[in-house]
Amino acid sequence: MEEYDVIIYGTDLVQSIVGAALSWQGVSVLHVDKSPYYGGASATLSLTEIKQWVESNNNDPSSPFDDVKLYVSRNIDTSKYSIDLSPRIIFSASDFIDLLRTSRVYRYLTIKPLTMFHTYKDDFFDKLASTKEDIFTDQSITVQTKRALLKFMRFVLNYQSESSLPIWTDFKNRPIAEFLQAKFKIDPIYSNELVYTLGLCPALATPTSVGLHRIKKYLTSMGVFGSFPAMFSLHGGPGEIAQGFCRSGAVGGAVYRLHSDVSSVDPDTQSIVLDDGTNIKYREKLVIPSQQQGSREVRRLVAIVSNDCKPWFGEGESAAVVVFPPGTLEGNETAVQCLIFGAESQQCQSGQAVWYLSTTEKGAKGKKELELALEKLESAILRESTEDFDIEVSEEDVILRNGTPLISSVRLGQSLKDFVPREKLQYLAKLQYVQHETIANPVADNVIPIGSSAFDITYDGIVEQAKKIFSQITGSDDDFFNVDFEDEDEEDIGEVKPLGSTSNSNSNNNSNAEPELTFGDAMEV
């Protein structure tokens, strides 16, 4: 009988990290997934695969997804799109970035900057005033508010220090917005930005302790790899990164078996049977996803639109965050968070964008709020992308002067002023679904259940969960990716050359590169 130390069922991001971490410690690992793709509930799938995914979900009562609906336009090549089931962005100062570095999994990825965090208010998107410079130069902020914001920023960077504790301990479990108002006299509009957009907190009830942690993460992320707080991986987020960890695990010696379901588990004999009848023994532990659903859920709406959405991105970038704080969508109590990716993210075709909207609001209310947010995004982008405006020129507009046809500029101005977009935004595909959290309940000593919650659009908590499972297996997390990669190509280490780039860096100065990406500068400090 085949035998492994550990069998892991499911290749969701956390499982993939654990599998790779174990294999690099010399643990023999079999990693099984019933799907023909990596990533499980956080997979990155083509639209073609999404179609199959929708079907298999509707036939699977144990699936954590429900209310799955898909519309796909007939005129698109569905293989040319990558959709993340649980999209996430990476903060520059986070344990997740540290993990990508220590595990060397970043070598399989292409990471790009994300600068723009927009807050929706009064039918407009505000770019965030998130740095000292932004706040000083912003004419719309009163001197009083400026002082309050700067005072708060100084505080939050060291909020865990001994001297700062008395300021917030009383508010620890109380809403962060209340704390900002009481202690720093920060107006609700600005606390919205701090709490929902910088902190990406979902609701008013977010406790101060959590809110401070998250706001600090944003602020300390600025400048770590350049003047942007966050980053994202091309071709997809968690699903792409799960593939990277699984490849790393395979290089470390783990065995991967996709499209193989576990049909039975016997903790007494420490063995499983696969759907093809193969009997496999595990010497130590079996890691399986829990199917017990918790009470929390996240509702998602993914739209592929016929607009490049460039006005929302930072210069040279192709991703942005848009947050609709509570109270901006006919009385929403929970923020609607949106991730916007342009064609350069390799998720869609040129001239298009993918919008990921999500909320933790449940039921019909959540559904309505996502639809409202979608409408607002639609009208905002139509208003902002004037180059898409298609102006009809009639015979009368053309005046012949010296035989040269000209367009009457007066008429042109007139038609621009009265312009009403003739075309609505085209939706090439729309996908909606609800994802339930699952809770890990003990099964047997040698079986470790994994619960999952995909409520965060950052990678917060992923490393912690992976480490916890790793130590349940090995006894401690001391050796979690404690690897000496001795086979590394020495020559490449520290070389400030983008990986995977085929540019001939000697002759080409690459004027397209964003200046903030020069790491030589970053290292000088």
Partner 1 sequence: MDAKPQTSVKLVLLGEAAVGKSSLVLRFVSNEFQEHKEPTIGAAFLTQKCQLPNRTIKFEIWDTAGQERFASLAPMYYRNAQAAVVVYDVTKPASFVKARHWVSELHAQASPDIVIALVGNKVDLASDDNGPRVATAEGQALADDEGLLFLETSAKTGSNVQEVFTALANKLPEPAAASAATQETPDHIDLSAAPNKQANCAC
CB of 5 or CB of 397, closer to partner 1 = 5
Q: CB under 8 A: which stretch of 63-71, 150-158, 168-176, 439-447 binds partner 1?
A: 150-158
Q: Of residues 7, 97, 262, 336, which one binds partner 1 by CB under 8 A?
A: 97
Alpha-carbon span 226 to 223, nearest angstrom: 4
Alpha-carbon span 268 to 286, nearest angstrom: 12
Q: Of residues 247, 285, 300, 310, which one binds partner 1 by CB under 8 A?
A: 247
- The crossing angle, in degrees rounded to 10, of helices 13-23 and 462-474 is 40
Q: CB under 8 A: which stretch of 63-71, 352-360, 465-473, 510-518 binds partner 1?
A: 510-518
Q: Of residues 71, 124, 419, 485, which one binds partner 1 by CB under 8 A?
A: 485
Residue 313 burial (CB count, 10 A) = 20
* 512 sits near partner 1 (criterion: CB under 8 A): yes
* 292 sits near partner 1 (criterion: CB under 8 A): no
Residue of 29, 32, 22 whose CA lies nearest to 103:
22
CB of 105 or CB of 374, closer to partner 1 = 105
CB of 204 or CB of 348, closer to partner 1 = 348
**Cβ 484 vs Cβ 296: under 8 Å:** no
Q: Of residues 248, 270, 345, 452, which one binds partner 1 by CB under 8 A?
A: 248
Q: How far is the CB of 128 from partner 1 (least distance, A)?
A: 12
* 96 sits near partner 1 (criterion: CB under 8 A): no
Please tell me what DSSP assigns to residue 378: H
Segment 334 to 393, residues that bind partner 1, using CB under 8 A: 344, 346
Alpha-carbon span 283 to 285, nearest angstrom: 7
* 515 sits near partner 1 (criterion: CB under 8 A): no
Pairing relation of β-strands 2-9 and 279-289?
parallel
Segment 32 to 91, residues that bind partner 1, using CB under 8 A: 37-38
* 250 sits near partner 1 (criterion: CB under 8 A): yes
Q: Of residues 70, 76, 189, 258, which one binds partner 1 by CB under 8 A?
A: 258
Q: Under rule CB under 8 A, how many of the chain's residues touch partner 1?
A: 83
Q: Of residues 70, 189, 205, 255, which one binds partner 1 by CB under 8 A?
A: 255
Sign (positive/negative) of CA torsion 48, 51, 53, 56? negative
* 132 sits near partner 1 (criterion: CB under 8 A): yes
CB of 115 or CB of 290, closer to partner 1 = 115
Q: Of residues 404, 476, 502, 509, which one binds partner 1 by CB under 8 A?
A: 502
Residue of 402, 309, 390 whose CA lies nearest to 347:
309
CB of 182 or CB of 251, closer to partner 1 = 251
Q: Is 430 helix (H, G, I), strand (E, B) or coil?
A: strand
Kindly list the strands in the beta sheet with 336-342, ordered across the sheet, starting from the edge strand earlier in the chain.
65-72, 427-438, 293-305, 353-359, 336-342, 319-324, 116-121, 124-127
**Cβ 1 vs Cβ 83: under 8 Å:** no
What single string gives the DSSP state of each residue in 243-299? HHHHHHHHHTT-EEE-S--EEEEETTTTEEEETTS-EEEEEEEEEEE---EEEEEEE
Q: CB under 8 A: which stretch of 127-135, 385-393, 402-410, 446-454 binds partner 1?
A: 127-135
Q: Of residues 143, 476, 487, 509, which one binds partner 1 by CB under 8 A?
A: 487
Alpha-carbon span 127 to 508, nearest angstrom: 34
CB of 165 or CB of 251, closer to partner 1 = 251
CB of 67 or CB of 98, closer to partner 1 = 98
Q: How far is the CB of 278 from partner 1 (least distance, A)?
A: 11
* 519 sits near partner 1 (criterion: CB under 8 A): yes
**Cβ 511 vs Cβ 517: under 8 Å:** no
Q: Of residues 246, 319, 329, 374, which one binds partner 1 by CB under 8 A?
A: 246
Alpha-carbon span 437 to 66, nearest angstrom: 12
Segment 197 to 226, residues that bind partner 1, using CB under 8 A: 219-226
CB of 248 or CB of 432, closer to partner 1 = 248
Q: How far is the CB of 243 from partner 1 (least distance, A)?
A: 4
Q: How far is the CB of 123 from partner 1 (least distance, A)?
A: 29
520: which residues sit within 8 A by CB, 6+ positions away?
Answer: 496
Torsions phi, psi for 412 (to 5 deg): -65, -45
Q: How far is the CB of 172 from partner 1 (least distance, A)?
A: 23
